[in-house]
Amino acid sequence: MALFARVREDLNSVLERDPAARSRLEVFLCYPGLWAVWVHRVSHGLWKAKLRLTARILSQVARFYTGVDIHPGALIGRRLFIDHATGVVIGETAIVGSDVTIYQGVTLGGTGKGHGKRHPTVCDRVFIGNNANILGDITVGENSRVGAGSVVLSDVPPNSTVVGVPAHIVYRNGERVLITDPHDVKDPLSDALIALSARVEELEQCMCVDGSPPTHAAEPFAAEEAERTAYRVELDRLREYVSMGEGI
């Protein structure tokens, strides 16, 4: 596709997705996320031509002026819209499909220091909310949405909505996904919730329906009641001993 046709396509995609955009001229002059994408296309060409240092320098210049850090090695599809721009990071082996929308503060990052494919693959028509982190060699399926502030550490199926830290699916194919097993939450507090739930079930099993203790728990309750009775008897004896001097 010709250069000017691609530019026009990018401008139109922003107008379609951002209600704050009023004209192509405004988008051209005031959207640094779009500038970052255009500069990346040049730096990526230099990267493929083995001019790696030149490509990195150009990407750093773009980072300085736009606030978006896209590694020249990343593969970016058509009509990528980076709204508000500031703080977006896209790693070297990341792959971003077409018609993807990314808000400020998003990181498509890696985990560890391994080589090879270590950054995410974001498929077509994905929406990523602000300050979300998608980490590692994982895939976010087509038409999926990542909630703001989420940390995605595993694959996301197509047509899904994920939220949380770490992220879990709340909608899939337009239907609400109800979580009945605490293990599915994958939250750092999941183990504590599971232990608490197990303890509640254990205590419920120790009580009968009418509130009286079952037969296997009768002896401990009887022993406690006997101790309380003996204590009351001792208190009564002491009270009578003290009252002997009254009236003197």
| pLDDT by position in tens, the chain (length 248) | 677 888 899 999 999 998 988 999 999 999 999 999 999 999 999 999 999 999 999 999 999 999 999 999 999 999 999 998 899 999 999 999 999 999 999 999 988 777 889 999 999 999 999 999 999 999 999 999 999 999 999 999 999 999 988 888 888 988 887 776 666 666 666 677 777 878 888 877 776 555 555 555 555 566 777 887 887 787 777 665 555 544 44
**Residue 32 in contact with residue 68, Cβ under 8 Å?**
yes
Give the whole-angstrom CA distance, residue 140 versus residue 128. 10
pLDDT (0 to 100) of residue 53: 96
Helix boundaries (H) for 67-185: none
Report CA-CA distances (Å) from 214 to 98, 175, 198, 229: 64, 44, 19, 22
CATH 2.160.10.10 fits 3-173, yes or no: yes
Sheet holding 107-109, edge to edge: 68-70, 88-90, 107-109, 133-135, 151-152
Check residue 144 and give its pLDDT. Answer: 94
Tell me if 143 sits within 8 A of 126, measured CB to CB.
Answer: yes
What's the farthest any 2 CA atoms get from each other in the chain?
117
